[in-house]
Copies of this chain bind each other. A is one copy, B any other.
């Protein structure tokens, strides 16, 4: 067998590889971090899908390609991708770039290990523990548990599963068959992951009871209390209230203290709260980069592990030469789990808690500035005074001003935001989201997060909407 096959000559020339990686790194810096954050450049280079597919030549073939061709591909992918770190990207709840976090992400990718055992990830088992502890301290918990999940939807699902397991530990082994109907309470403006999770966990989306919100989008505790009582009287068992601290559209905060009282009264698990669990996504406002989502628990009884343990003998051998509590894989539903703590840790070390605080304060200041300027202009109307960093507003084009009484006013207004959005994307000048909400027709949802953003960018955003919509 020895030396008998050309396979032994598999090309692994180190210097060729380093050179390639180095060139790719230079293109990334140039296209994504330099041009991609330059306000003089487009935020997106809109192409129709057919045209884009052709430009990219996506097809995968039997033969490989030389490095110079691959480097062109790296440049093309960067060129036609959305510049989410651009100062004119206000489209989602992430934006901007932190270079320390980015260094942490490159390091995690290069180290390519798996957060299930101490033997495979000694540094990261300890680091995740410390980052979770620090996050818990920020919300005032001196003890507890937690885990990084692949996104907030997963964190929310974990919380539901834990709340259910605490109330009915037998669900894990026996399933829901034979149990009474279970119910989850959340506000009508909460994130859709609550319903997705209920479907996935076998609880059913119909058993997610939507609690009424006030005009600002905050859950009304009295309605929660009434709905819990009603559901109980029908023989259904409520087990969790999933609150929201910063709703997706309006950025509203549910009144956590008053909801806590209702939960206390009915003995329900409260998620996002001083009571049981919080899902916290540093990949949003804190700029840690996708994915970075922590589930924090107040529990100190090992609930997370008891709920998810599987004890695979090939990973979690009981006769290891170190403390088995360091093998944290039994807390996760995943087996392979990416390292999501390093990027946050390195960024936190870089700017300190005070630097993180400063960023949040800067975002709040920018948000207030935007609202102040918006109010000075004709044709801009706030849905509601913003509670957080989401600014929801309509732009009323000249032809609709003063026509509020017309029967087709709402119908025409609904078409304004999509039309302006199409124009800004095809121009590549800016990205802002829009949507309808309950009985309100399409409005813009501006999200201000990034420390790279300035007052000038806020002014530009208002000017650009006027420019794009003034002939409507």
Given contacts A52-B126, A122-B49, contact A310 B175 (CB under 8 A): no
Instruction: Chain B residues near A99: list those with CB within 8 A.
Output: 17-18, 20-21
The reply to whether the CB of A112 lies closer than 8 angstroms to some CB of chain B is yes
Q: Is B177 touching A179 in the complex (CB atoms < 8 A)? A: yes
Q: Is A105 touching B109 in the complex (CB atoms < 8 A)? A: yes
Instruction: For the complex, give the distance between the alpha carbons of A73 and B333 in Å.
Output: 30
Q: Is A109 touching B120 in the complex (CB atoms < 8 A)? A: no
Q: Is B336 touching A152 in the complex (CB atoms < 8 A)? A: yes
Q: Is B290 touching A114 in the complex (CB atoms < 8 A)? A: yes
Q: Is B103 touching A106 in the complex (CB atoms < 8 A)? A: no
A residues 149-165 in Cβ contact with B at 8 Å: 150-154, 157, 161
Given contacts A65-B349, A111-B81, contact A1 B293 (CB under 8 A): no
| A335: nearest chain-B partner, CB-CB | B153
The reply to whether the CB of A354 lies closer than 8 angstroms to some CB of chain B is yes
Instruction: Chain B residues near A124: list those with CB within 8 A.
Output: 81
Interface string of A9-39 (1 = CB under 8 A from B): 0101010011011101100110011100100
Contact of A352 among B65, B106, B454 (CB under 8 A): B65
The reply to whether the CB of A467 lies closer than 8 angstroms to some CB of chain B is no
| A349: nearest chain-B partner, CB-CB | B65
Distance from A417 Cβ to chain B, minimum over Cβ atoms (Å): 9
Q: Is A336 touching B151 in the complex (CB atoms < 8 A)? A: yes
Q: Is B107 touching A1 in the complex (CB atoms < 8 A)? A: no
Distance from A30 Cβ to chain B, minimum over Cβ atoms (Å): 10
Distance from A286 Cβ to chain B, minimum over Cβ atoms (Å): 12
For this complex, 15 residue pairs linking A to B, each with C-beta atoms less than 8 Å apart, are: A7-B365, A20-B100, A24-B103, A32-B111, A62-B353, A70-B100, A84-B111, A92-B114, A152-B336, A175-B203, A175-B206, A177-B182, A196-B333, A315-B433, A317-B436
